[in-house]
Chains A and B, each alone.
Chain A
Amino acid sequence: MITILTGPLVWLSLAVLLVGGAWRMITVRRAVKRDASAMAYLNGPGSLRSLAHWLVPFAALNMRQRPLVTIVSFAFHIGLLASPLFLLAHVILIRRAVGVQIPAWPDAVATVLVWMVVVGGLALAIRRATEPTVRYISTLRDWLALAIAVSPFVTGLVARHQLLAPELAVGLHVVTGCIWLASLPWTRLMHLFNFTFTRALMGSEYGHRNARDW
């Protein structure tokens, strides 16, 4: 059972991710062709300085005005992106599957990264449920995205600490992980792909007019 899950299911979800990502790129490119007036102004330096100010913690005014949200959000995203690929168990599976050896996080680092995601995700959920403005604008899709993003980390912890039967725990972990991968191009998690592009657009708008967008 686990062999099927870690074998074909992973490949399937990776395929969905790749095909979906490609589809996104094609539709964006198609739309972009009709939006020449915005694309004509895309400019490198403006885009880069905008990206830099929004990728470095506290570099933008809004981040300084809400330190807690900034810390939680950065911790959550760093953990989310940095832990999966370099987790020892994943490194071993990848070596078995494709024969490539990638470095692994020391156990302590991996643990911290994973807890950053779980605690950060919980904090974001509390914010979404309690902050009146965020509540007002939240839809099912927003909750779904958060649930999908965090669930592999929760199930990973469950498996690691053997809170369920090993087969079941690992099975759940693999399934939630595959959902995570496959849903990236179709859910709110798409912002992973679009962030660079939207930031570049606004950075160019402000950049070529010599104003700051942070």
Chain B
Amino acid sequence: MLFRPNPSSGVPIYLQLMEQVKHGIETGALRPGEQLPGIRPLAEELVINPNTVAKAYRELEHEGVIELRHGAGAFVSGQAREKKLTDRLRAGQTIVAAAVERLHARGVTDEEIRRLFEAELAGLSRSGGERG
């Protein structure tokens, strides 16, 4: 599993890490029960603040994506939750795919679609609903 946050993107690094863990689970790169790198080694490898890694792990645990076992480290949550998460994401992916197809049909480019999504998400995040 490869984590690659971009510190200067303007998006909080802990959110980027959270997304990358979820994406890893979605793609199967991370399996239920699998252990995630420890906070120290990951901070050192990515050269980012250990508090940032700890925050990402705490939030992921809060969302039920991973489990923090005292002294043992962080593990991807068990099958049931993982499946639920995957189903939800798969449903979302279908919706996104349809939307992207319609936008393409109208001649909207990939880059424009990306900007539209970002604008929409940035717009939503202000209402404070979906931020951990």
A binds B: no
List chain A positions with a Cβ less than 8 A from chain B.
none
List chain B positions with a Cβ less than 8 A from chain A.
none
